[in-house]
A = this chain, B = another copy of it.
Amino acid sequence: MSIKQPVTINDVARRAQVSVSTVSNVLTGNRPVSAKTRAQVMLVVEELGFRPNRLARGLVSRSSKTIGIVASGLEYFGPSRTLVGIEQEASERGYSLILSLIHEPATEEVEPIVNHLITHQVDGIIWAIPQIGQNRVWWKSAVERLPVPVVFLNHAMWPGSLGVDIDNCQGGFMAASHLLANGFVNIGLIAGPGQWYAAEMRKKGWETALHEAGRAIDPRQLAEGDWTPQSGEQAFFDLMRRYPEMDAVFAANDQMAIGAMRAASDLNLRIPEDIAIVGFDDVPEAAFTRPRLTTVRQPVVGLGRLSVKALIRLIAGEMEPGDAGVGAMLQPSLIVRESSQRVAR
What residues make up the interface of A, taking CB atoms closer than 8 Å to B?
Answer: 4, 6, 51-56, 58-59, 64, 66, 69, 74-75, 77, 80-81, 83-84, 87-88, 91, 96-101, 103, 115-116, 118-121, 147, 228-230, 232-233, 255, 258-259, 261-262, 265, 283-285, 287-290
Query: In the complex, which residues of chain B have a beta carbon less than 8 angstroms from the beta carbon of A119?
Result: 51-54
Query: In the complex, which residues of chain B have a beta carbon less than 8 angstroms from the beta carbon of A258?
Result: 285, 288-289
Closest 3 interchain pairs by CB?
Answer: A229-B288, A80-B80, A262-B288
In the complex, are the beta carbons of B229 and A255 less than 8 A apart? no
Query: In the complex, which residues of chain B have a beta carbon less than 8 angstroms from the beta carbon of A99?
Result: 69, 87, 97-99
Q: Which of B74, B229, B284 contacts A287 (CB 8 A)?
A: B229
Q: Which of B58, B75, B121 contacts A80 (CB 8 A)?
A: B75
In the complex, are the beta carbons of A4 and B147 less than 8 A apart? yes
In the complex, are the beta carbons of B287 and A55 less than 8 A apart? no
Q: Which of B53, B118, B288 contacts A230 (CB 8 A)?
A: B288
A287–B252 CA distance with the chains assembled, in angstroms: 19
Shortest A58–chain B CB gap in Å is 5
Query: In the complex, which residues of chain B have a beta carbon less than 8 angstroms from the beta carbon of A229?
Result: 284-285, 287-288
* Nearest chain B residue, comparing its CB with the CB of A233: B288
Query: In the complex, which residues of chain B have a beta carbon less than 8 angstroms from the beta carbon of A118?
Result: 51
Known: A54-B119, A229-B285, A259-B288. A101 touches B91 (CB 8 A): yes
A331–B228 CA distance with the chains assembled, in angstroms: 26
Shortest A192–chain B CB gap in Å is 15
Which of A80, A229, A262 gathers most chain B CB within 10 Å?
Answer: A80
Query: In the complex, which residues of chain B have a beta carbon less than 8 angstroms from the beta carbon of A265?
Result: 290
* Nearest chain B residue, comparing its CB with the CB of A87: B101
* Nearest chain B residue, comparing its CB with the CB of A72: B84
In the complex, are the beta carbons of A120 and B101 less than 8 A apart? no
A96–B69 CA distance with the chains assembled, in angstroms: 12
In the complex, are the beta carbons of B59 and A147 less than 8 A apart? no
Shortest A3–chain B CB gap in Å is 10
Q: Which of B80, B228, B284 contacts A228 (CB 8 A)?
A: B284
Shortest A287–chain B CB gap in Å is 7
In the complex, are the beta carbons of A96 and B120 less than 8 A apart? yes
Query: In the complex, which residues of chain B have a beta carbon less than 8 angstroms from the beta carbon of A98?
Result: 66, 96-99
A108–B84 CA distance with the chains assembled, in angstroms: 20
* Nearest chain B residue, comparing its CB with the CB of A114: B51
A259–B289 CA distance with the chains assembled, in angstroms: 8
Query: In the complex, which residues of chain B have a beta carbon less than 8 angstroms from the beta carbon of A69?
Result: 99
Query: In the complex, which residues of chain B have a beta carbon less than 8 angstroms from the beta carbon of A81?
Result: 74-75
Q: Which of B56, B84, B233 contacts A74 (CB 8 A)?
A: B84
Shortest A292–chain B CB gap in Å is 8
